[in-house]
């Protein structure tokens, strides 16, 4: 009789070793190795691998690059325009998409809402975490009440249930065994499969518990092979760790075609769908949703929701033009500068890097003469989003000066520029998109770096700033910005 094969996996990064180690050589973590049984004696091949009629068996051989026929990927355009934007135009046939996020952030709501609104497509929604009744309650809240068809299968039978009405061609299956899931896939023949979640699935020829490194890797490999052979796209929902990384081995993110991160603050109604990896499009796209009682609503113009509608002029508030992926947005940047009552000044930033904030304060003290060493400084990016674009440096510096002098910046003025260590205002990329967004929202002035202006004849042909009606104010240094704003 063959022996049961066991190995040791690092629970942090998925590193595999035949013996126990105290320290992982890959991620340098201590006491993270656990023993897992990876194969039973006389294990059998899953049924779908042998009997799947949709698989295309072919023999691979080396082919010259010039002989490869290039075809455009067939994409499923979803009704969710924000989801299409993040994926690069829609769901690619045969792709494997992984979406992760905090518990309760709305991953299952987003996927069920997507599954129940795919026109003309049959979607199989597989849940290993919730019962059919729980999914039905969420579907009713999403204004798409699923009802069993006449003569169909009732809830609780263990088979895929096709909800009609608002659900269209969405089938619900509560199952965790991959072998049973593939049997239901052969019967229903869906156009799209949603797995909620990959950490709850298990394969019968791996003896470790669901959610372990070997189970997650094996189940993902089976789903990946199914997607590539049948051309059916699969969307996986994944858990994340306390560090914000997707739970399971790091190889999970390498195996899939697209990795999406669904993030946001529970105290805010806005959610951000951020693309981390995409083999079929840009990896810097971003989608914004608003969480409502009836589901997630797409936000087509995020600048309007991130700007507060205030009438009175307040000091310490400026508007900055930033880019998230390819999308220009205007955000409200706030600063508060006050005398430190405890002797040791406090430095706090919400939605912005604290180390970069300290750099901005050092530049303002060195080049403009502001004594900020004994001041408490607090920065805030409104809306609950995190910004890494250096183009908001100029807006934050203006907000700090405004709060320090207690002089309000005109509400119809915005900023787009990077602040250098010498106090110079550096040029930023895609300045035309930032100017166009500010003009569209009714702003009257925008401060940009003078190095963004066209200097040569070729630049003037490429960048035409004369077509904008908004007043463009080029500046070279932070002292010049201070003189123009506050005299």
Q: Which residues contribute to the annotated binding site?
A: 101-108
CB 174, CB 197: distance < 8 Å: no
What pLDDT does 226 receive? 93
> Residue 145: what pLDDT?
41
Which pLDDT belongs to residue 29? 85
Residues of the chain with pLDDT under 50: 1, 41-57, 144-157, 163-166
| Binding-site residues from annotation for ATP | 101-108
pLDDT of residue 308: 74
The pLDDT of residue 382: 85
- Predicted confidence at residue 235, as pLDDT, reads 96
């Amino acid at each position: 009789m063959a022996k049961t094969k066991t190995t040791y996996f690092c629970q942090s990064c998925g590193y595999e070793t035949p013996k126990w180690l105290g320290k992982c050589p890959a991620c340098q973590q201590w006491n993270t190795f656990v023993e897992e049984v990876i194969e039973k004696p006389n294990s059998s091949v899953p049924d779908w691998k042998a009997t799947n009629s949709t698989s295309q068996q072919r023999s691979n051989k080396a082919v010259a690059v010039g002989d490869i026929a290039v075809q455009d990927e067939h994409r499923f355009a979803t009704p969710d325009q924000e989801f299409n934007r993040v994926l690069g135009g829609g769901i690619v046939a045969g792709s494997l998409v992984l979406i992760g996020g905090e518990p309760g952030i709305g991953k299952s709501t987003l996927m069920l809402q997507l599954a129940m609104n795919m026109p003309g497509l049959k979607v199989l929604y597989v849940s290993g975490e919730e019962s059919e009744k729980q999914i039905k309650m969420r579907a009713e809240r999403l204004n798409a009440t699923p009802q069993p068809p006449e003569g169909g299968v009732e809830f609780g039978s263990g088979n895929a249930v096709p909800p009609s009405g608002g659900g269209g061609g969405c089938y619900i299956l509560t199952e965790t065994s991959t072998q049973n899931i593939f049997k239901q896939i052969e019967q229903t023949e869906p156009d799209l499969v949603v797995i909620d979640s990959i950490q709850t699935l298990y394969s019968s020829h791996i003896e470790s518990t669901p959610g372990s490194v070997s189970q997650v890797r094996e189940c993902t490999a089976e789903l990946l092979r199914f997607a590539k052979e049948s051309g059916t796209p699969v969307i996986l929902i994944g858990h994340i760790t306390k560090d914000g990384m997707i739970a399971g081995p790091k190889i999970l993110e390498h195996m899939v075609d697209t990795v999406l991160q669904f993030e946001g603050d529970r105290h805010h109604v806005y959610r951000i769908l951020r693309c981390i990896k995409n083999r079929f499009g840009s990896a810097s796209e971003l989608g914004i949703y608003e969480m409502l009682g009836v589901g997630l609503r797409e936000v087509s113009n995020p600048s309007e929701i991130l700007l507060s509608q205030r009438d009175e002029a307040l000091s310490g508030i400026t508007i900055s033009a930033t880019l998230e992926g390819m999308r220009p947005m205007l955000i409200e940047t706030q600063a508060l500068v006050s005398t430190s009552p405890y002797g040791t000044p406090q430095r706090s930033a919400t939605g912005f890097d604290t180390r970069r904030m300290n750099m901005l304060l050092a530049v303002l003290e060195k080049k403009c003469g502001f004594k900020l060493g004994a001041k408490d400084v607090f920065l805030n990016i409104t809306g609950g989003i995190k910004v890494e674009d250096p183009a908001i440096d100029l807006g934050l510096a203006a907000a700090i000066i405004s709060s320090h002098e207690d002089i309000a910046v005109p509400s119809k003025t915005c900023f787009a520029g990077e602040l250098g260590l010498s106090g110079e205002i550096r040029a930023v990329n895609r300045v035309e998109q930032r100017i166009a967004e500010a003009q569209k929202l009714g702003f009257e002035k925008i401060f940009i770096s003078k190095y963004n202006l066209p200097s040569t004849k070729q630049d003037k042909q490429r960048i035409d700033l004369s077509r904008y009606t908004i007043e463009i104010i080029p500046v070279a240094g932070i002292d010049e910005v201070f003189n123009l704003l506050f005299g």
